[in-house]
């Protein structure tokens, strides 16, 4: 009987400019792959209509968030259009150690920090079919003031330049297709030889 090493969970990082459709695509993906654990971020941004504490985000005051930074409770954090966003570290580490795949939906500065701590992560960049489409999607959301929309658009254009720091790029023309591409990437990444050769040992072929 030979042995094959079973990987710990895969850390999947999904970034992309505001309006690329990360939320919609990742919701679709999570329905198709319910075994993936979604990491809920902390933020100082006020909740949008319909957003729930502990489901969409952990909503924090600035001082609570700064305390989390000081306590090293965050795997990464960034300031984005005037608010803090960060990934609670312990939950992610525990899930990965238990062999579960974890999905982080974060912006580019945070993704860079994660890359340093988890070079074995899979970094995926989601882009809209065009800048015009991006503008339309951000405006259509209609939950933010004109100024915030403009800031998000400016930031989105800057973020698009970060694409080359990622392993994969997925165009979000249709949600089902984009989610299917993500699923294919995740399946393929699980088959990588180097992942099978690191981590816990399990028996096979017996």
CB of residue 193 to ligand 5GP, shortest distance in Å: 31
Query: Which of the stretches 61-69, 80-88, 116-124, 170-178 binds ligand 5GP when contact is defined by CB under 6 A?
Result: 80-88
Give the whole-angstrom CA distance, residue 172 versus residue 136: 14
State which of residues 7, 8, 18, 179 lies at the interface with ligand 5GP (CB under 6 A).
18
The beta-carbon contacts of 72-75 under 8 Å, at least 24 apart in sequence, are 74/42, 75/113, 75/114, 75/117
Q: Is 105 in the site for ligand 5GP (CB under 6 A)?
A: yes
Strand partners, 127: 171
Give the whole-angstrom CA distance, residue 17 versus residue 108: 9
- How many residues in the shown chain lie near ligand 5GP by CB under 6 A? 15
Query: Which residue number has the CB closest to ligand 5GP?
Result: 110
Residues 6+ apart with CB under 8 A from 43: 57, 58, 59, 60, 65, 83, 84, 85, 86
Q: What is the largest CA-CA distance in the chain?
A: 64
Q: Is 107 in the site for ligand 5GP (CB under 6 A)?
A: yes
Which of 21, 86 has the CB closer to ligand 5GP? 86
CB of residue 137 to ligand 5GP, shortest distance in Å: 11
Query: Which of the stretches 25-33, 90-98, 102-110, 163-171 binds ligand 5GP when contact is defined by CB under 6 A?
Result: 102-110
Taking Cα atoms as reference points, which of 83, 184, 191 lies closest to residue 124?
Answer: 184
Q: Is 86 in the site for ligand 5GP (CB under 6 A)?
A: yes
Q: Is 76 in the site for ligand 5GP (CB under 6 A)?
A: yes
- Kindly state the tokens that stand for 119: 């070079």
Give the whole-angstrom CA distance, residue 177 versus residue 63: 41
Q: Is 172 in the site for ligand 5GP (CB under 6 A)?
A: no
Q: Is 106 in the site for ligand 5GP (CB under 6 A)?
A: yes
Residues that bind ligand 5GP (CB under 6 A): 18, 22, 41, 45, 76, 78, 80, 85-87, 105-107, 109-110
């Amino acid at each position: 009987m030979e042995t094959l090493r079973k990987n710990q969970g895969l850390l999947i990082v999904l970034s992309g400019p505001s309006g690329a459709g990360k939320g919609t695509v990742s919701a679709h993906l999570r329905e198709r792959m319910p075994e993936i654990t979604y990491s809920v971020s902390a933020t100082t941004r006020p909740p949008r209509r319909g957003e729930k504490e502990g489901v969409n985000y952990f909503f924090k005051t600035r001082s609570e968030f700064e305390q989390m930074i000081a306590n090293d409770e965050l795997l990464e954090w960034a300031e984005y259009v005037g608010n803090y966003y960060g990934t609670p570290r312990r939950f992610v580490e525990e899930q990965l150690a238990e062999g579960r795949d974890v999905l982080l939906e974060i912006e580019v500065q945070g993704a860079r920090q994660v890359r340093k701590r988890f070079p074995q992560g899979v970094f995926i960049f989601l882009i809209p079919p065009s800048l015009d489409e991006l503008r339309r999607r951000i405006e259509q959301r209609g939950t933010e003031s004109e100024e915030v929309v403009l800031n998000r658009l400016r930031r989105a254009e800057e973020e698009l330049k970060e694409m080359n720091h990622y392993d994969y790029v997925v165009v979000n023309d249709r949600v089902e297709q984009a989610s299917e591409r993500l699923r294919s990437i995740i399946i393929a990444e699980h088959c990588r030889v180097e992942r099978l050769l690191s981590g816990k040992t399990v028996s096979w072929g017996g």
